[in-house]
Amino acid sequence: MLDLSAHELVTTTRAVRRRLDLDRPVDPALIEACVEIAVQAPTGRNRQRWSFVVVTVPDRKAALADIWRRGTRAGGTPMPEEDARRAYAKPGTMEKVFDGVDHLYRTLHRMPALVVPCVTGRTEGAAVVEQAGTWGSILPATWSFMLAARLHGLGTCWTTSHLHFEREAAELLGIDHERVMQVALTPVAHTVGTDFRPGSRVPVAEVLHWEQW
């Protein structure tokens, strides 16, 4: 494990796209160790509805990467002005993100592992309280998985593009789409070097509201 303080761990776990070693295999035991940590995350009513699908077989990785690429090409909805202001606040940041996405686009199928965190339960049409309970019972675990990966010298990148075609990915991975939602897809690979820095963010004063918004 890397010798990182808790502060370093939570401030330097980045979306890693370029600095991933495509040629160094990842020991399955390391991924299992990350899932052991992930399942210590909070879970609504202690239901533990999480699952992690790990894909390492070349053909299946290639097929999943194809779905992801199509999703990436489909793009997202346009960013509201306020979000764009924050995203582009530091000149050059988004250019780097786009470069990274382009690299990931070309290399995703070559990653040693692709991990798809899932939650049992679907939220289409559900009340916000239900949605919060379901998403809130897998996203913290997903982030814990990524923190654990960083601790073990592995890089990850939270992505959601393949969810444009979630049903197709479910068929590929044998996931029961009626009962189980996929929530993300991350590559997992050893990082090239282990030094990462805090990301660029808008000032805390802009997002921290005391007593009322």
Ligand X SMILES: Cc1cc2nc3c(=O)[nH]c(=O)nc-3n(C[C@H](O)[C@H](O)[C@H](O)COP(=O)(O)O)c2cc1C
Chain residues that interact with ligand X, rule: CB under 6 A: 14-15, 97, 101, 104, 157-161, 199
104 or 141: CB nearest ligand X: 104
Alpha-carbon radius of gyration of the chain: 17
Beta-carbon neighbour count of residue 2 at 10 Å?
A: 12
Residue of this chain nearest to ligand X (CB atom): 199
Please return the burial class of 74, using the count of CB atoms within 10 Å of its CB with bins 0-12, 13-18 and 19+.
exposed
Candidates 88, 115, 87, 132; CA nearest to 186 is: 115
Count each helix (H run) and each strand (E run) in the chain, helices first: 8, 5
CB 191 within 8 A of CB 20: yes
Residues 6+ apart with CB under 8 A from 36: 148
Residue 186 C-beta: closest distance to ligand X, Å:
9
Our CB check for ligand X shows the closer of 46 and 75 to be 75
Considering the complex, what minimum distance in angstroms separates the CB of residue 169 from ligand X? 13
Taking the least distance from each CB to ligand X, the nearer of 43 and 159 is: 159
Least distance (Å) between residue 58 CB and ligand X:
22
- Nearest distance from C-beta of residue 206 to ligand X, angstroms: 16
State which residue, 32 or 79, has the beta carbon closest to ligand X. 79
Question: The tokens of 98 are what?
Answer: 């786009």
- The nearest distance, CB 54 to ligand X, in angstroms, is 19
Cβ closest to ligand X, residue 62 vs residue 98: 98
